[in-house]
């Protein structure tokens, strides 16, 4: 009986320490959430960082909303996307609505030989903000070996989701370092926080974006550069194939307005209060339970898509 007392005491202190640790983490999370979303502090993002903002994938969804939000703050905007027609349309809308200068660069990010053109087009511009937003996902959840045209798909996702982030950062960062100020906002995904089976390549490429962002932030923050990894859950966009908004699926405009409040405060953010709560919950799940939920959801979505495709 006496020999059991030290063990019981040890377990008591382990339990107490665990509870205290969790309490501190929850308190810190609540304090940070209040600081960011409750107090409504406006981020120092505007022409003071540099006249121009560059947004890749800037004609739709989150990218377009970032372009509009930065223009609203008085920044001139460079839109980079594939369709010149869409670029012209969005560029015209931003100029008329926000009375700022715009510039467009039409390139296809699935290609690797586009960066000399981008470099030439950006030459001489004082770039204060870069939003690496362009991205590509799956048409529907699928097992790795069953992805249609797999070799081509692998190359496309790597070029768009990984290569573009590295190359655009390479082009813009030297000017920011020279002026000792600037912000790079890399749009990752919540699927980059956790492995997502049946979206394997997408999840892995977005994890790269998250890690890359954290590393570059640590390397250059002492030089006045803020690098942020933005990790949204579902947002009502074409990429997510969601049209209707809900309490946990905001519009692109609402999401970006919220995410902008975290710039300068959080180098890694889910960008939206409910998404941050969802991220915290998923982090607490044991891995076996998370993978069970993730696989079941992926298989259900896959079956629904294939059934619908068969009918058509």
Of 275, 229, 282, nearest in space to 255 by CA = 275
Q: DSSP labels for 97-113?
A: HH---EEEEE--TT-SS
> What DSSP designation does 251 have?
B
Place of tokens 């939920």: 293
Asked if residues 283 and 26 have their Cβ atoms less than 8 Å apart, the reply is: no
H runs (alpha helix) in the chain = 4-33, 61-72, 84-98, 115-122, 150-157, 164-179, 200-220, 252-260, 273-284, 287-311
Residues sharing a CB contact under 8 Å with residue 193, sequence separation 6 or more, in sequence order: 207, 210, 231, 279, 282, 283
Residues paired with residue 77 on neighbouring β-strands, in sequence order: 53, 102
> What token pair was written down for 10?
């040890």
Cα 249 off chain centre by: 15
Contact (Cβ atoms closer than 8 angstroms) between residue 52 and residue 125: yes
Rounded distance between C-alpha atoms, residue 295 and residue 215, angstroms: 30
Q: Which of the residues 140, 202, 234, 272 is marked catalytic?
A: 202
Nearest to 105 by CA among 158, 170, 57: 57
Whether 237 contacts 194, CB under 8 Å: no
Active site residue 138: no
Query: Which residues are annotated as catalytic?
Result: 202
């Amino acid at each position: 009986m006496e020999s059991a007392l030290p063990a019981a005491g040890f377990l008591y202190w382990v339990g107490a320490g665990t509870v205290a640790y969790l309490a501190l983490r929850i308190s810190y999370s609540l304090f940070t959430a209040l600081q960011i979303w409750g107090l409504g502090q406006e981020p120092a993002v505007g022409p003071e960082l540099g006249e121009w903002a560059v947004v890749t994938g800037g004609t739709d969804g989150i990218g377009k909303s970032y372009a509009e939000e930065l223009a609203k703050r008085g920044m001139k905007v460079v839109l980079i996307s594939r369709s010149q027609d869409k670029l012209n349309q969005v560029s015209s809308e931003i100029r008329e609505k926000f009375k700022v200068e715009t510039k467009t660069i039409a390139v296809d990010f699935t290609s690797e030989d586009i960066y000399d053109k981008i470099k030439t087009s950006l030459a001489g511009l004082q770039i204060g903000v870069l939003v690496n937003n362009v991205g590509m996902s799956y048409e529907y959840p699928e097992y790795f070996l069953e992805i249609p045209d797999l070799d081509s798909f692998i190359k496309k996702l790597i070029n768009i989701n990984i290569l573009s982030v590295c190359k655009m950062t390479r082009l813009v960062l030297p000017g920011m370092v020279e002026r000792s100020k600037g912000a790079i906002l890399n749009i990752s995904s919540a699927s980059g926080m956790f492995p997502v089976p049946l979206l394997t390549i997408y999840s892995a490429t977005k994890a790269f974006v998250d890690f890359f962002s954290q590393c570059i932030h640590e390397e250059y923050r002492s030089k006045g550069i803020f690098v942020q990894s933005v990790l949204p859950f579902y947002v009502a966009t074409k990429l997510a194939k969601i049209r209707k908004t809900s309490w946990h699926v905001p519009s692109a405009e609402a999401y970006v307005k919220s995410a902008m409040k975290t710039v300068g405060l959080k180098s890694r953010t889910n960008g939206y209060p409910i998404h941050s709560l969802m991220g915290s919950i998923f982090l607490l799940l044991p891995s076996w339970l998370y993978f069970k939920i993730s696989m079941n959801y992926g298989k259900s979505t896959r079956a629904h898509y294939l059934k619908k495709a068969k009918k058509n």
